[in-house]
Each structure stands twice: as structure tokens, then as C-alpha cells.
Amino acid sequence: MSVVSIDKSLCTGCGQCVRDCPARNLSLLGGVARVAGGQCIECGHCFAVCPAGAVSMAGYELAGLEKTASMSEFGPERLLLAMQSRRSVRRFTGEAVSEADLARILEAGRCCPTACNAQDVHFIVLQKRIAEAEAAAVRLFRRAGKLAVLIKTLPKSVPDNFFFMGAPLAIVCASANETDAALAAAYMELCAESLGLGGFYCGYFCAAARLSGELRDIISLPDGLKPAVTLVLGHPDVKYLRRAPRRPADITRL
Ligand SMILES: Cc1cc2nc3c(=O)[nH]c(=O)nc-3n(C[C@H](O)[C@H](O)[C@H](O)COP(=O)(O)O)c2cc1C
């Protein structure tokens, strides 16, 4: 059964919801929209597009969603310049990330698109147990030998702060769908930058979590989820004065 319902007394029959539904879950009958019984993916487009406010979605908080904004408000030059200026930050002041900032960052991850609107990213917020998790990952990497074959760029000596570099916060984005997790992490990183925070993606920590059951236990990774991206965050103790050079984009145009 679809979570979507239409208030017939409010529906004007404009058909916006029918045209916008990617799952063909809605149709017009007698000038009123109705749920036709397709595979609703709960994307909320019908709710978001309805000019009459006639759509409800069971199980979702719908209050307070009226306010919207568009990326075009920033303008392409400002947005692109900010994206070009974003850098991985690996030097931190040690100041904690506030609860308000953390809530915003997690909200950026929550509102990210997911394939078929699965909303299937689990966020593991490492703060209290960040040192314990890093110590376990460091122990694993120091047992080098065969690992060095698996992880080709592993350095010869692994310092105590190898994974999180003194940052107060790391968020492991875990999902059965690694693409969903990676996109959520990218949204969160941009949000963190807008808050004046900085950080980097720690691929090494995800590699360690894939290799170590002990580490997966420490971070309480639910069964069936892959640790796809670890976003390490804190207050930057570095300022970049110019953008970093990049090779030309590798593009095929057809
Ligand atoms: C998937 C992924 C994994 C990464 N893993 C690490 C890592 O384990 N440690 C690290 O210091 N940086 C890591 N980085 C950061 C990259 O080294 C960095 O993005 C790259 O050098 C470009 O620098 P910039 O982010 O400042 O543009 C990772 C980046 C990505 C996208």
C-alpha cells in the first residue's frame, strides 16, 4: 500500500502530481488525483509539487517543509568558485564540533538523493569512541606485511593519529549501496565547509573497517552495510591562499 494519500476535497485535478511521479503511482480519475497503485518510492514529489496542499504521506513529518531555496540563488560563479576552493583539511585546532553544527551536517546527509529513494545510508558518528577506533585501526595497519600488499599506498610507519589526524569527529557513512553513502558524504562535506569546518575523506579507515571485525564491532557497524566513506571533520588549523591546480578534465563528448 502506498504511503501517499490525496485529500479529494482539496485536490483541484491540476495533474501536477501525476506528471511528476517517477513511479507512475498516481492518476487522474473524474478530475481528481488518486493513488493508482504503482511502485511508490516515497520520493515526496507529489507532496512537494501539489499547489493545493492536498497530498499527505503517512509516516513522514510534513510540517515545516514549505520553505525552499535554490542553488541558483548562489549563482554559478560563487558556487563553482567555492567548490574549486574547497580543500581537504588535515590540520585541526582541537576544538570540538558543536551539536548544532553536527545536526546540520547530518541533515545534509539525510536530504541527499539515494537510488530509488532508498534512504539507506547509516551514519556512524565517532566522537567519544574516536580514539578507540583509531587505535584499533592503527594496530591493524601496523601488523603490516600482507596488508601492505592489499593497501598499496600504506606508509612504512603508521603514526598514532594516522587515520583522523587529531580531528574531533569522524562520520562513517555505511550502506549496502556505496554510491548512496558516497553522495551523502559529499553533501555533508560541503555543508561542513559552509559552517567554517574542514576535513577529509579517510579511505584508509574504511579499508581498515572492511578488514577488521574488531573495528567493525567498535564502530557498531550493522550487518549487511558496507563502510563506504569516512568523513573526518574539525575546525581547520590551516588556511589555503589559492586554489589547487588540477589536470584538465577527462571528457568524452558524443
Ligand atoms: C575516496 C577518497 C578517499 C580518501 N582517503 C584519504 C585518506 O585515507 N587519507 C587522506 O589523508 N586523504 C584522503 N583523501 C583525500 C584526497 O587525498 C584529496 O581529496 C586529494 O588529494 C585532493 O585534495 P583536495 O581534496 O584538497 O582537493 C581521500 C579522498 C577521497 C575522494
Task: Give me the mean pLDDT over the 87-113 stretch.
Answer: 98
For residue 210, pLDDT beyond 60: yes
What is the CA(201)–ligand 1 centre distance, in A? Answer: 5
Confidence at residue 120, expressed as pLDDT on a 0 to 100 scale? 98
Residue 44 CA to ligand 1 center (angstroms) comes to 34
Mean pLDDT of 84-94: 97
Percent of the chain whose predicted confidence (pLDDT) is above 90:
92
Contact 212, 136 (CB under 8 A): yes
Q: Note the pLDDT of residue 156.
A: 75
45 close to ligand 1 (CB < 6 Angstrom): no
CB of residue 200 inside a 6 A radius of ligand 1 = yes
* Residue of 138, 152, 154, 201 best suited for mutating to test ligand 1, as the one with most atoms within 8 Å of CB: 201
pLDDT confidence bin for 149, thresholds 50/70/90: low
pLDDT at residue 129 in the model = 98
**End-to-end Cα spacing for the chain:** 43
Question: In the prediction, which pLDDT does 1 show?
Answer: 73
- For ligand 1, whether the C-beta of 48 sits within 6 Å is no
Whether the model clears a pTM of 0.75, i.e. scores above it, the answer is yes
Domains in the chain, CATH or no CATH each:
4-57 (3.30.70.20), 88-234 (3.40.109.10)
Measured in angstroms, how far is the CA atom of residue 199 from the centroid of ligand 1? 9
Output the CA 6–ligand 1 centroid distance in Å. Answer: 46
Per-residue pLDDT tens over the stretch 164-200: 999 999 999 999 999 999 999 999 999 999 999 999 9
Please give the number of the atom of ligand 1 that sits closest to the Cα of 165: 11
